[in-house]
């Protein structure tokens, strides 16, 4: 019997919380969360973080193929997540105006802002080769994981 998406994310949220507990280093925690998500989620070809540096996003810890190194704020799905300060759930990246194709195999994407002291300090970016791979259950589950990361940075 397979578990539901909600059950899987509940387990992943517990694992992520354990990984980041008592570890204040943001990069180390992002590295572990990237690995956790990449290896646990089906039909994902990239999972990682972009960090805010000098008013742009710069590639951080990730799992997957090499990726774009710098993304301007407001550009692509990740840059839009920062400029709008909200989750981006993209059913088909080819229909997203200004999509930046770091990997031509990616067809859907979800990006969640990561906050520290009320400011976006990074984004969690997950790509899939399947169109429509992500839904609101993914957003809710991933938000729990991002919340654990944010709590570790306090």
74-99 average pLDDT score: 90
Provide the mean pLDDT of the chain. Answer: 93
Domain span holding position 118: 5-152
How far apart CA 144 and CA 13 sit, in angstroms, is 6
Q: Is the whole model's pTM more than 0.85, yes or no?
A: yes
Neighbouring C-beta atoms of residue 136, cutoff 10 Å: 10
Could you tell me the CATH number of the domain that includes residue 81? Answer: 3.30.450.40
pLDDT score recorded for residue 103:
67
63, 35 contact by CB (below 8 A): yes
pLDDT score of 9 more than 60: yes
- The CA-to-CA distance between both ends of the chain, in Å, stands at 39
Q: What is the pLDDT of residues 15-65, one digit of tens each?
A: 999 999 999 999 999 999 999 999 999 999 999 999 999 999 999 999 999
Q: How confident is the model at residue 1 (pLDDT cuts 50, 70, 90)?
A: very low
> Total domain count for the chain?
1
pLDDT score recorded for residue 104:
73
How far apart CA 132 and CA 93 sit, in angstroms, is 9
Q: What is the pLDDT of residues 66-86, one digit of tens each?
A: 999 999 999 999 999 999 999
């Amino acid at each position: 019997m397979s578990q539901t998406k909600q059950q899987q994310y509940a387990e992943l949220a517990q694992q992520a919380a354990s990984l980041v507990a008592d570890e204040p280093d943001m990069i180390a925690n992002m590295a572990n969360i990237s690995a956790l998500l990449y290896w646990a989620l089906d039909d994902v070809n990239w999972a990682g973080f972009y960090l805010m540096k000098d008013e742009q996003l710069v590639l951080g810890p990730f799992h997957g193929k090499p990726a774009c190194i710098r993304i301007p704020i407001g550009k692509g799905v990740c840059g839009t997540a920062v400029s709008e300060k909200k989750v981006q759930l993209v059913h088909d990246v080819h229909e997203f105006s200004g999509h930046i194709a770091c990997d031509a195999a990616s067809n859907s994407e979800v990006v969640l802002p990561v906050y520290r002291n009320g400011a976006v300090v990074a984004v969690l970016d997950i790509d899939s080769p399947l169109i429509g791979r992500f839904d609101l259950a993914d957003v809710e589950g991933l938000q729990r994981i991002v919340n654990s990361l944010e709590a570790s940075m306090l």
